[in-house]
Amino acid sequence: MEDLVRKALIEKLAVSVEIAGKALGLSKNPAYEACKTGQIPSIKIGGRVVVPTAPLRKMLGIESPRENGLG
């Protein structure tokens, strides 16, 4: 996983569908389809779809510094 993607997953509360897709090894369209079907947890805010990082990190087995007591 790219360092920028990993950093975004740890530091942000939500990321774009594209970033979530990169983390999961998906391109843009399959990532949006996975959000639509509920395979990737997502929230629609206005016209934008974002992916909360906490459940995404759990899916990927990544702990954030806050979750392991370092932040």
The structure's pTM equals 0.85
pLDDT band of residue 62 (cuts 50, 70, 90) is confident
pLDDT band of residue 12 (cuts 50, 70, 90) is very high
Any idea what the CATH number is for the domain that residue 14 is in? 1.10.10
What CA–CA distance (Å, rounded) separates 45 from 65? Answer: 26
pLDDT score, position 2: 84
Q: What is the mean pLDDT of residues 43-48?
A: 95
Rg (CA), the chain: 12
Closest CA to 5 of 70, 56, 44: 56
Q: Quote the number of domains for the chain.
A: 1
Q: Across the chain, what does the average pLDDT equal?
A: 90
Give residue 42's domain range. 3-60
